[in-house]
Structure 1
Amino acid sequence: MSGPVLASARRIAIPGLGGTTHPPSLRRVAMVTAGIALLAGIGMWQYDRLGHISENDARVMADMITVSSRVDGWIERRPVTDGQRITTGEELAVIDQREAEQQWTELTAHAASIRKARERAQTQLRIEEATSASAVKAAEARRIAAIANVRSSQSELQRTRLDFQRADTLLSQEFVSRQTWDLRQSQRKRAEEAFNAAQAQLSEAEASLIEAQARLGDVDVQRKEVERLSHDAEEVDAQIRQREIEVTDRVVRSPIDGIVDRKFVEPGEYVIPGQRLLLIHNPKTIWVEANVKETKLEGLRPGQPVEISVDAYPDRVFTGTVERIGNSATSQFALLPSPNPSGNFTKISQRVPVRIAVTQPADNPLRPGMMVEVDIDTRHR
């Protein structure tokens, strides 16, 4: 400071006392300066807080998968335990397979027997189809030949009858000899015998044709037998596939890469379909769910950055982004609703769930159920 100013500072008059005062001490100046700095810091902090939403009603969430049994039986072994890391397809539990495997073996043998019977039936069918068709063709050929023979013998019979009638007339008029008449009569009789034989052959050929055609009916019966055996084979194959599924279901495997959170059964216990065996989750697919007061939702938007702090890791700060803002307050999902039969009403701020996407670090420090504190920067629109 300049000289006049210092001089005036040394001679400050105090009313009623007379004289002058001493200059202010350095301690007092420091206290005033610290107060001003504190007020400025508080003001800046308050200004910064206007663009943030802090909430301690938040926890780490994950998709908890309940692994259940699809079949009933005795637990033979359970090679995993709580906290153990597992991979996709890893064996989690084995249910006694002996009965299912025995049923599968019996069905497999039955299926093989049916297939052999079907093969024999198919072979017999092919033989019968070939022989029956040949027999029908041969019988038809014999019938055609017999018909032609009947027609030929019938014509011959008619001719010999006419010759005999002429010979008989001429004999009465003594124009032919008795020997000629005897010849014509003998020819007529042989023609009649040949005609009768031809008719008998035709009847036999027609009977053979009917018999051959009847054997075609046996072919149809054999074909239906093959179809029945094929249907039986398909039915047994379906039962075998069902038993294979049942045998496979008796080995419970992990659907994900994850961690066993809790086991519910021990080897030797009896389980039924639908009974839970283990609880698992994938530590890489986690998120934070914060229950934010409805009065703070105005500036909240998806995509805003979030800082996450966990009591278990005071020296670490995790980051995330707002992924989704709930459309219903948490009170809508309460098991016990709060009716108001008396008419008295007290307004309470409701909370809305906000889902925050978090990238899990390599060491998987964030575990489902952990309570966290979130600080959402609402200045990002």
Structure 2
Amino acid sequence: MQSPKSSPTPAVTAVTQQNGRVEPSSNPIQVEQAVVIPEHPPADSSRLPPPKQSFHLPVRKLILIGSLGLGIVAGAIYGYHWWQYAQIHQETDDAYITADIHPVNARIAGTVVQVAVDDNQVVKSGTVLVKLDPRDYQVNLEQAQAALAVAKEQSNVAQANIHVTSTNAAGQTTQAQGNIDAASASIATAQAALSEAQAGVPASQSQLAAVEANLVKAKLDYDRYNKLSKEGAVPRNQFDAAKATYDALVAQRNAAQEQVRQAQARVAQAQENLRNAKAKLASTRGTLQQANATKQQTEVNQRQYKAAIAAIDQAKSQVDNAQLQLSYTTIMAPTAGIVGNKTVQAGQRVQPGQTLMSVVSQKPWIVANFKETQLGRMKSGQQVEIKIDAFPNRLFKGTVNSLSPASGAKFALLPPDNATGNFTKIVQRLPVKVVFDSDSIRGYESQIAPGMSVIVNVETR
């Protein structure tokens, strides 16, 4: 582009745009309201944009740039808030509602005479659901009660026989037992005396041994002083003292020997007394055996009485069983809930263990299968927001109850086996139990059903 020729400042005319046209304006030139157009365009005017384009293009650019900037800022703010939200929330739609489903089974075989409930009916625990024909079981109960009465009469007869025979044998047994007790006491006394006598023998023998040891030394001294006295080597009084010591020890030895003999005699006497006491005990036991022979009939009667008591217990068990079987003809709800899957009809013949219907508990909870990468900060007690597909406009509240100890794949009937040669890493899912807040589902208890799909959002901070 060539520079324009030097000249005085050119006059300019202000124009404005109205309704898409450019018209002269008498107003002063202002930013964004007027465009100055020189009276004499530059030499290379062919390269300059036309006046209309120079007026519209910058405004469009400013609007575009401003809009783009606002969009970027809004997106950044939204992304930041979403990032913050995602840091403390974990969500999954792999979740469903479940509850305890109690099967109602027949305990006995019978014919259905009444079905007292309908499908989807709310029942309380103990509500009568089905009645079976009770007549056969009523007859069984009456037979068991009659057998119980017979057993009680037999027991009374056996008890009377025991009283008669036991009275005759009681006196003999008491006397024989007294003699045994006396003989046992005599044996105990004799054993104590024998122990005491046997303890005295070692003491006497020890004393005798000590005296004999001193006597040996005294005998040597006596012989030595006797010899020296005869030779006149020692005074007479020393010999007399040695002789006196020797004589005294001889007397002590004789006394100790006598004590040993007496101790041994006491042992022999105690042994004799013990033998006599044992013989007396054996004799009294023979008397007791004779008394026991008299008691044999009593013992027979007692065994008969015990058998009668056992027969009573057996008859009572049969009565209890018959009453229990009769009670099974009335089938009641095991818990409060809603009746479902009812397959029984009046007149139907049912068998033990046959499922007649189910009672679904009205205390539901949620099993939410989270990815293992979502469980890092999840724990029991955290707050949960719940959306049920059946109620899209209602937000429910809950709490994390517990986390499964293993992934769902581990509890499968056929767990996957990734061998070394074909290993493929798969993100596992672990079930998390979520319980509803009771206030949150108030009014919806009968509408929330097991199997419903939900979306669970856990606040993990």
Please, what TM-score do these two structures have when normalized by structure 1? 0.66
> Which 5+ residue runs of structure 1 have no aligned equivalent?
137-212
The C-alpha deviation readout for 1:132-174, integer Å capped at 9, x for no partner, is: 58999xxxxxxxxxxxxxxxxxxxxxxxxxxxxxxxxxxxxxx
What does residue 58 of structure 1 align with? 95
Q: Which residue of 2 aligns with 1:375?
A: 457
Counterparts of 2:159 and 2:89, CA distance in 1: 83
**Residue equivalent to 2:31:** 7
How far does the alpha carbon of each residue in 1:17-38 deviate from its partner, in whole angstroms, 9 at most, with x for none?
A: 2754247379769855763564
Residue by residue over 1:92-125, the C-alpha shift from the partner in whole angstroms, topping out at 9 and shown as x without a partner, is 2233322222111011012113223433444465
Out of 317, 321, 343, the residue aligned to residue 242 of structure 1 is 321
Q: In the superposition, relative to structure 1, how do residues 49 and 342 fare at CA in structure 2: closer, same or farther (>3 Å)?
A: closer
Structure 2 unaligned runs (5+)? 1-27, 38-46, 173-291
Question: Using the alignment, how far apart are the partners of 1:374 and 1:283 within structure 2?
Answer: 20
User: Which residue identity lines up with residue 357 of structure 1 in the other structure?
Assistant: V
Please point out which of 70, 82, 89 is paired with 2:107: 70
Amino acid at match of 2:335: I
CA deviations on 1:219-238 (whole Å, 9 max, x unpaired) are: 55544443332221121112
- Aligned residue among 45, 55, 58 for 1:21: 55
Does 2:299 match 1:267? no
Q: How does 1:1-381 map to 2 (within 5 A)?
A: 7=31, 16-17=48-49, 20-22=54-56, 24=59, 31-32=67-68, 35-36=71-72, 38-40=74-76, 42-47=78-83, 48-123=85-160, 125-126=162-163, 221-284=300-363, 286-339=364-417, 343-360=421-438, 361-363=441-443, 364=445, 365-378=447-460, 380=461
Aligned-partner SS, 1:315:
coil
Report deviation, 1:339.
Answer: 4.4
CA distance in 2, matches of 1:124, 1:5: 141
1:72-96 per-residue CA deviation (whole Å, 9 max, x = no partner) reads: 3333333123211111112222333
Identity among equivalent pairs (%): 29
The 2-side partners of 1:314 and 1:6 are apart by 57
Please tell me the residue identity of whatever aligns with 1:58.
Answer: A
* Aligned CA distance change for structure 1 residues 114 and 325 (closer, same or farther; 3 Å): closer
| Bigger Cα displacement from structure 2, 78-87 vs 338-347 | 338-347
Matched residues in 2 for 1:111 and 1:55: separation? Answer: 65
Distance 2:373 2:134 in 1: 59
Partner letter of residue 35 of structure 1?
A: G
Q: Could you tell me how far 1:316 is from its partner in structure 2?
A: 0.6
Whole-Å separation in 2 of the counterparts to 1:347 and 1:84:
48
1:93 and 1:252 in contact (8 A); partners too: yes
1:233 aligned partner, one-letter code? I
Q: What is the DSSP-based 3-state SS (H/G/I as helix, E as strand, rest coil) of the residue aligned with 1:24?
A: helix
Please report the TM-score for the alignment, with normalisation by the length of structure 2.
Answer: 0.56
Letter in 1 for 2:397: T
**Contact 1:262/1:278 (8 A) holds in 2:** yes
Closer, same or farther: CA 35–9 of 1 in aligned 2, 3 Å: farther
Q: CA deviation at 1:359?
A: 2.3
Residue 144 of structure 1 corresponds to none
Deviation string, structure 1 residues 169-220 (Cα, Å, up to 9, x no partner): xxxxxxxxxxxxxxxxxxxxxxxxxxxxxxxxxxxxxxxxxxxx99976655
Q: 1-side partners of 2:336 and 2:98: how far apart?
A: 17
Q: 1:347 to 1:228 in 2, by over 3 A?
A: closer
Does the 8 Å CA contact 1:12/1:21 hold for their aligned counterparts?
no
Alpha-carbon spacing, 1:12–1:234, altered in 2? closer, same or farther (3 Å): farther
Aligned residue identity for 1:376: V
**Comparing 307-316 with 246-255, which one deviates more in the overlay?**
246-255
Structure 1 CA distance for aligned equivalents of residues 164 and 326 of structure 2 = 42
Q: Which has the larger Rg? A: 2
Residues 290/11 of structure 1: CA separation in 2 closer, same or farther (3 Å cut) = farther
Q: Which moved more, 1:343-352 or 1:18-27?
A: 18-27
Question: For 2:164 and 2:451, how far apart are their aligned partners in 1?
Answer: 75
> Residue 17 of structure 1 aligns to which amino acid in structure 2?
P
Post-superposition Cα deviations, 1:296-321, rounded to whole Å, max 9, x if no partner, equal: 22232322221111121111100112
Greater shift, 103-112 or 220-229, is seen at 220-229
Root-mean-square deviation (Å): 3.8
Distance change >3 Å, CA 268–CA 5, structure 1 → 2: farther
Alpha-carbon distance change, 120 to 355 in structure 1, aligned in 2, over 3 angstroms: same
